[in-house]
Chain A
Amino acid sequence: MLLKMKMLGLVQAFRLGAKINRDFALRLKEKTLIVQLSVLDVREHRYIEFRGGKLYSRHKQHPAPDITVKFKTEAVAHKLMNPKQDYRFMIHAMKNFMVDIDGPDDQAFWFMETMQKLLRVHLKYGEDMGNGVRRYVSNNNGGPVHVYVRDDRILRITPIEFTAEDAASWTITARGKALTPPRQTTVPPHVMTAKSLVYSKDRLLYPMKRVDFDPDGDRNIQNRGTSDYVRISWEEAIALVAGEIKRVKKTYGPGALAFTHSAHQNFGNVNYLLSSAFRFFNLLGFTKVHSNPQSWEGWYWGAVHHYGHTMRLGQGEVFGQVEDILKNTDMIVFWSSDPEATNGCYGGLEGTIRRMWAKELGIEFVHIDPYFNETAALMGGKWIAPRPGTDPALAQAICHVWIEEDLYDKWYVENRTTGFAQWADHIMGRDDGTPKTPEWAEAETGVPARDIRALARKWGKSKTYLGAGGFGNTFGGACRGATGTQWARMMVILMGMQGYGRPGVNFGNLQGGTPIDFNFWFPGYAEGGISGDLAFTANGAINYQQIPHIMTMNNVRQQIPRMQFPEAIFEGKARGWPTDVAGIHSQFAPIGYPLPGNAPIRMIYKFGGSQFGTQCNSNRWVKTYLNEGIEFVVNQSVYMEGEAKFADIVLPACSAYERFDISEWAQAGGYAPQYPTQLNHRVVTLQHKCIEPLGESKSDYAIFNEIAKELGLSMIYSEGMDELGWCKRIFEGSDLSQLTSWSKFLKKGYFVVPAPREDQRAPTAYSWYYEGRKKDVPEMQPLPADYTEKFLHELQPISGKFEFVPKTLEMADDPDRPPVNRYIPSWEGTATKDLLAKYPLQMVSAHPRYSFHTHADGKDSTINDIAVHRNLVDGHYYLQMRINPQDAAERGLKDGDLLRAYNDRGEVIFACKISPRVMRGVVHTYESSAVYQPLGKPGESTDIGGCANQLTNHRSQIRGGSAMAPNACLVQIEPWTGAVASLSLQAVQTQLEAVK
C-alpha cells in the first residue's frame, strides 16, 4: 500500500513541481517519454508518460515503455524512492542488481536528471542585487569570487567580502601587535581577467571538425596544425568521437587510446580532471600518460631521501609557520622563492599581507635568485644572484662556514640525524681533497665569497627560516633545473644542520602555515572527486568512504611517462618512473611502454590547456600530432588555442562560470594536502552556474556523459546524477553538512570555515620531532608501513631520522643522485663550455606571474595589455623576455625590440625588456604560453606565440627518475628583423596561408 502511494506521490510531485517552478515545467516539455516503474517481487507496476509537458500515469504495466526502472524488491524500492537518498545503499543496490534501468541511455539519463530537478524545484541560488542584477559565487585556480550577472551576461567579477554572518578570522599576537587578516577573499591577476576570458574571441562555441579530416576516407594527418575547421553539430561530433573510440578499441584494444591532459583545469570537484575525466577514461580503458611531479621535481626525487614527505611530493610540514615566524624569527632566506609572483598554488594574494606584517615587524630578508624577483622588489633585503643551476655549490659553501665556525645546531645533528660525519668530511674536502669553501663556490656561482660568509654567519647566528621554492618548502625555480635534486637536497641539508623545528627555525616564507582548522574535512580535487579511481587519486583515503560512488578501474597497465610521450609515438617505446607517493623506495619502480599484448597508440584524447607551452622541447610535442600512426585526435578545450589546433575534432567545453560545481578554495588534497594552509580563511564554494554556457559549449562532465551515452555507459558514468546532484552528494559527505544546510549553502554559495580557538591550533611543523615527542601535527602521512621503529615517532627515511647520507640512495645506485650530495655541475649550463660558447645565455623560464600556467594567457584577454607580460608589436602580442642591460647592449637590443631566442631545439620570438633585475648571462621569461604560432611548418619553424619551452631540454635531471629540467637551458639571442616584424598580423596570416 505504502509503495503504491509512493509511486503515485511521485507523479503528483512532478505535477506540483511544474506548477511552482517554471523551469521545471519547461523541462517536462522537453521529451515525450514513457517510464515504467516496476517492483518485481510484489509485481507492482506504474508507468508515467511525459507528453507535451503533461503527465499521464496508470498503476499498471505499459505495453511499450521507453525505459523501465526495475526494483528487485519492495524494500529496495522503498529505500531508493526516498527523497533523501542513501548513496551507499544506492550503489550497493546497483552493483548487486537490486535495481536496473532498461532503455536508451539518453532517455534514462533524462528521467534521472528530471528526478533530481524535481527535488530542487523549491531551491534558489544567488542573490538579487536590484536593477536586474543577480550575484552568484564561483571558484577557480586563484580565489573564490562574486559574479554579478545581468541579462545572462557577466557584469563584473569581484573577490568575496565577508559579512558579520561569516566566521570570525584568527588573530596572531606577535611582538606586541595583534595581526588579523582582511575579511575577504583575495584574487591573483589571472582571476581579474576572468570575465574577458569568458567572452574571449578564442572561445570554442561549437564542436569543430578539421576541414580535411574524413574518418572514412583521407584523414590528412599531415595537415594537423595548419588546416582550418568547420562547425559541426553535437550529434555529429559525438557520433564521430564515440565511433572512433569504438573503432580503435575494436581494432587494437583499449591500450591504443592515449589520454593526455594539462596539469590544471577549470576548478571544481565534479568537472575536474581527477574526477569526471578519470571516471570516464577508466570506463573506456586507456593508456595513461603519467605525469611527472612537474613543479616539485627536485623535492620529490631528491629531498625526500633525507627527510621524507613523499606523500606531499617532497613538500614538508605546513603547520604553524606563520605564527612561529611572526613571533620568533629574525630572518627569512627566500631561495628561488618568489611567492609574490606565484602565490603558492591557487593562493590568491593571501600570503602577501603576512609578508607585509613580517616587514613591519622588522624581520630581515635575503633573496637568492638570478632574477631580482617580485618578492625581493616588495620586501627589500639582500639580493644574491647565483648563476642558474649552481645553487647547490652556494649551499655547500654555507655548510663549510657553519662547520668551520661552529654555527650549526650540534645537539640536533647528534640526536636527530644520521650521517653527519660523512657529510662534514665531504664539505671540508676530507673525502675528495676539495674543501667547499666560499672561494670555491664563488668560482662556480659568481657570488662573492664575502657575501657567502656574511650570509652563513648571519644565518647561523640568528633564528632563520628558509623559504625554498615558491611555497617555502617546495615548488618551482631551482628544483626544475639539471641540478634540481641536488638543490632541493641541499635545502633540507641546510635546515638539518640548523635544527628545523626549533622555535623560529624552520621551512617557510609565510606562504603556508596559517592557523586554520585542519580537522574540518572537505575533499580536494586530488582526492578523486567522483572518479571512483582508487589507483591514481587519493580517493581511497577518505573520499570514497565519505562520498560513496561506483569504483572505476582502468584495464590497461602500460603507461607512458609524460616527458617521453613524443618518443613513445616516434620510437614506439618509452621508459620512465611514475610519481608514486607511497614510500621513498617506491619511486624506483619503472613504468614502460609498450607492454606485450597492447597495440601502439592510435588515438589521442587531449583534455585541458596546451602542453606546447609547458612541456620541454615542445617541438617534439607538435610533431607528435603529425605522426602518421596517430589516426585520430580529439581535443576537449574551452579555447581554440595551442594544441587544440592540432585535433581532428574539437569539443567545446564551457568555462567554470557556466556550470555548477563544488570546491574548496585551493584545496587539492591527495598528493598536495593542506593547501588551504596558504589561506587566511578556509572557504568552501558552491560554484553557481552564473550564466548559460556560451554558444553550444557544455560542461566537461556533460561532454563525457554525451559520449558515454553513445557507448551505453551513461548510467555507470553518471549514476543518474547531474552536476548539481553530485555537488549535493559531495556536500552531504563532507564535514560542511555538519555546519550548514544544503539549501542555505546553495543559496549563498560560500561558507567560511571557522578558525580554531588559539589553544587548539595545530602545533608548529616539526616541533614534535625537535622536542622528541609523539608526532602531533594533523597529517595522515607517511604510511604506517614507513615507520621502522615506532609509529608516529619518526621521520620517513629508513633510520627514522633526518639522513645526511640517505640509505635509499645508497641502495639506488643512480649516478646523478650520489648518497653524499656531491655538487655535479649542470649538464646544460656554465660548465658545458662548448655549448656555452655557442649559446652563452641561460634562460630561466619561471612559473608565470600574471597567468596561471596557460590559463589566462593569450586568448585575447585583458592580460595582453599587461606590459610586463606581453607586448603589442605590429598587431601581435609577443611574450616578454627580460635581459640584463650589458647583455642587451652587446647585442644591439633596445627596449621593446623583438628578439629571437634560439638554440638547436627551436627558436622563439619575444619582446625585449632590458632590466637590471636580471643578472648578466641570464634571460628571464615565463613558461606556459597558451599561444603557439609557428611561422612555417609546425614543429620546425619559428614560434611567435612565446612557447619558451620550445627551447628547453627534455632530458631528465637524473638518469633514475623522470624529472624535467626546463631551467637548464642555454640560448643565444639576437635582434629579430624577420619579415613579419614589420608586417601586420594579417600579413603574418597571409604568410601562413602561403606556407600551407
Chain B
Amino acid sequence: MSDKQWVMVVDAAKCEACYNCFLAVKDEHIGNDFPGYCAPMPLHGQNWVEIRHKHRGTAPVVTAHSIPVMCNQCEDAPCLRAARDGAMYRRPDGIVMIDPVKAKGQRSLVKSCPYGHIHWNEELELPQKWNFDAHLLDQGWTRTRGEQVCGTGALTSMKVSAAELAALRSRDDLEVLEPQFRTTPRIFYKNLHLMTKSFIAGTVVAVVNGVEDCAEGRVVVLSQDGQEVARATTDAFGEFMVDGLAPNSGIYDIGLAEGAGALCRCELKDDSLYVGVLTASA
C-alpha cells in the first residue's frame, strides 16, 4: 500500500471568488446520499466549502482576494479525538471521515473543530463536513469536484508522501490556516499573505513647470526605527506597494532611496494603508 496521502494546495493569488467549488460541493451533496461516506447536505445554510474574502486598502490602491476554506483533513484532528463509537476516522489516504451512521446525534463534534468546519444537520441530527470527495476518489476520480470547476487552477489536490510534501511546502512557501491550533492541517495555502498580511502603498508625484506628474521609477524605502524594512519602485502611475507586513505593526517611515528625501510617516493599524500622494522633488 502506498504511504501517500491526499493534500490540497490553494493559491490565494489565483482564487477569484467565482464560487464554483462552493457550488460544486452543494451540487454533489444536496439531495444525494452516499452510504458509508456521507448523508445528504441541507439545501441551504451549510457551506462545506466556505469562501472567505479579504478587501485591503482604499482607493486607488485596493486588493480583493479570497480563498475557499473547508475541512482541513487535519492529521492531529481534535474532532477525531472528540468522536465516540468510531464516528470519525482517518483513512489510510489521509482523508478524515465522519461515519454518517455512527455519528448520529454527536453534536459535540461541531464544536470540536476549531476551524468551524463541522456542520450540524438538524434534520438528520448529524455532524457533516466536506470529505475530500472520498466517494468519488474511490470510484476512480483523479481530482475533486471543486478542482474540476476551478477556472484559474487555484486548487490542486494531490497524493504525496511526507517527503514530497515537505519539499512542496518549502518550495512554495505553503502555509496552513491558524497554525496556532496545532492540528496539522492537510489543506495548504500559497500566497496566504494576500489574506492575512497588510500592505503600505502610496503615490509619488513630482511637479515640473507647475504640472504635477506621476513619478515613475522612484525607489521608495520603508523603514522602521531607522532600519530599512523593504523597498519598492514606483510604476508609471507613481504607485508603490510593500506587501506582507504584519497588521498593527506600528510606525513606518517612507522615504526615497539614496537619501533623496523623506516622504511621510505613517502607522499601520488593522487595515492596509494607502498613504496618499507624496510629492518628491522633480
A residues apposed to B, CB below 8 Å = 153, 155-159, 161, 184, 186-189, 192-196, 199, 340, 348-349, 352-353, 356, 372, 374, 376-378, 380, 382-385, 449-451, 453-455, 457-458, 850, 860, 862-868, 872, 885, 915-917, 919-920
Contacts and interface: CB of A to CB of B under 8 A. Distances in A.
A159 B23 contact: no
Pairs A-B, 5 closest by C-beta atoms: A349-B151, A192-B23, A377-B64, A352-B151, A454-B214
Contacts of A194: 27
A378 B152 contact: yes
Given A159-B148, A161-B148, A353-B151, A189 B238 contact: no
Interface string B32-62: 1000000000011101000101011111111
A865 B55 contact: no
Nearest to B213: A450
Given A158-B149, A458-B236, A862-B23, 5 more contacts: A186-B151, A192-B149, A353-B152, A385-B59, A865-B45
A352 B205 CA distance: 34
B184 interface: no
Interface stretch (B12-20, B109-117, B118-126, B251-259): B12-20
Contact of A864 (B32, B44, B152): B44
A384 B203 CA distance: 13
Nearest to A919: B59
Given A187-B20, A192-B20, A450-B214, A916 B60 contact: no
Given A454-B213, A866-B19, A916-B55, A383 B148 contact: no
A187 B212 CA distance: 46
B137 interface: no
Given A374-B17, A377-B64, A454 B236 contact: yes
A301 B58 CA distance: 36
10 contacts: A158-B145, A189-B19, A192-B19, A340-B16, A372-B59, A378-B14, A382-B60, A860-B44, A872-B44, A872-B45
B26 A196 contact: yes
A73 B58 CA distance: 81
B183 to A, nearest CB: 26
B43 A377 contact: no
Contact of B24 (A192, A382, A451, A453): A192
B262 to A, nearest CB: 21
A267 to B, nearest CB: 19
The A contact surface, by secondary structure, is mixed
B70 to A, nearest CB: 14
A865 B149 CA distance: 18
Nearest to A877: B44
A916 B58 contact: yes
A976 to B, nearest CB: 23
B149 A382 contact: no
B22 interface: yes
A864 B44 CA distance: 8
Residue of A454, A850, A863, A868 ringed by the most chain B CB atoms within 10 A: A454
Contacts of B152: 349, 352-353, 356, 378
Residue of B23, B43, B236 ringed by the most chain A CB atoms within 10 A: B23
Contact of B30 (A195, A353, A384, A872): A195
A368 to B, nearest CB: 11
Contacts of A458: 236
B18 A916 contact: no
A288 B122 CA distance: 52
A895 to B, nearest CB: 11
A139 B193 CA distance: 39
B32 A156 contact: yes
B28 interface: yes
B62 to A, nearest CB: 5
B54 to A, nearest CB: 11
Nearest to B23: A192
A862 B145 contact: no
B239 A865 contact: no
Contacts of A195: 27, 30-31
Contact of A454 (B17, B19, B238): B238
B30 A862 contact: yes
Nearest to B61: A383
A865 B148 contact: no
Contacts of A863: 23
Given A187-B20, A356-B14, A156 B28 contact: yes
B75 interface: no
